Amino acid sequence: MIQDLNTAVEAVEQVGGDYTILPKGEYTLELTKVGEWKAKHFKTLIVKPSMEKLEDVDTYSTRLDFKVVAPEDYKGATIIHFITTHPSVPWSISGFLHGMGVESLAPAKIGELVGNTCVAYVKEDSYEKKSVDKDTGEETKEKIPTNTITKFKRLELDLDI
C-alpha cells in the first residue's frame, strides 16, 4: 500500500488482463478471489418488488473472481461476479453459497471458500460505459461486452469408489 507520495514504489510486471467473453452455457468454476466488502448506507431504501420502505439500512457488496475449470476450450478464462446483502436481491449470497455446497456461512467468511468449485450458468451481457472528452466536454457512450452469472448450482461429483 502506498503510504505517501515520497516513498518509492517497486515496478511489477502486470499479468492477466485478457478477458474472454464466454458464450452462453454451463461452466465449472473455481473461486479464486474475494474482494473487500464495501458498505453503502441508505437513509431510506425501497425493497423491490414489494415496495417495502426501510429506514437506515446498511448493505454490503463484494466482487468474486472465478477461473473456468471446464469446459476445456475455456479453461483459465476469468468470470467476475458481484454479491450483495441488498434486500432487493436476497438470492445473491444464498444462491452463491448453495452452488458452493455450503449450507450456511456468514458473508464475512466467504473468503474461506477460495479454491472451491461450483457450476454456473453464464450468459453474454453488456454494460454502458460513459466517458467525457476532457477538451470538448462531449460525453460518449460505449457498449462493453461482459458475462453475467445467472444461476449457481452445486458441482455433482461422479466418484467411482
Count of domains in the chain?
A: 1
**pLDDT at residue 157, rounded to an integer:** 59
Q: Is 42 exposed, middle or buried (0-12, 13-18, 19+ CB in 10 A)?
A: middle
Q: What is the largest CA-CA distance in the chain?
A: 68
Classify residue 12: in a domain, yes or no: no
Classify residue 113: in a domain, yes or no: yes
Q: Which domain holds residue 130?
A: 25-153
Classify residue 7: in a domain, yes or no: no
* Low-confidence winner among 29-43, 51-65, 82-96, 145-159 (lowest mean pLDDT): 145-159
The SS3 of residue 118 is strand
Contact call for residues 28 and 70 (beta carbons, < 8 A) = yes
Give residue 40's identity as a one-letter amino acid code.
K
Classify residue 1: in a domain, yes or no: no
Q: What span, in angstroms and rounded, lies between the C-alpha atoms of 55 and 40?
A: 13
Greater confidence, 34 or 12?
A: 34
Classify residue 43: in a domain, yes or no: yes
Which pTM does this prediction carry? 0.77
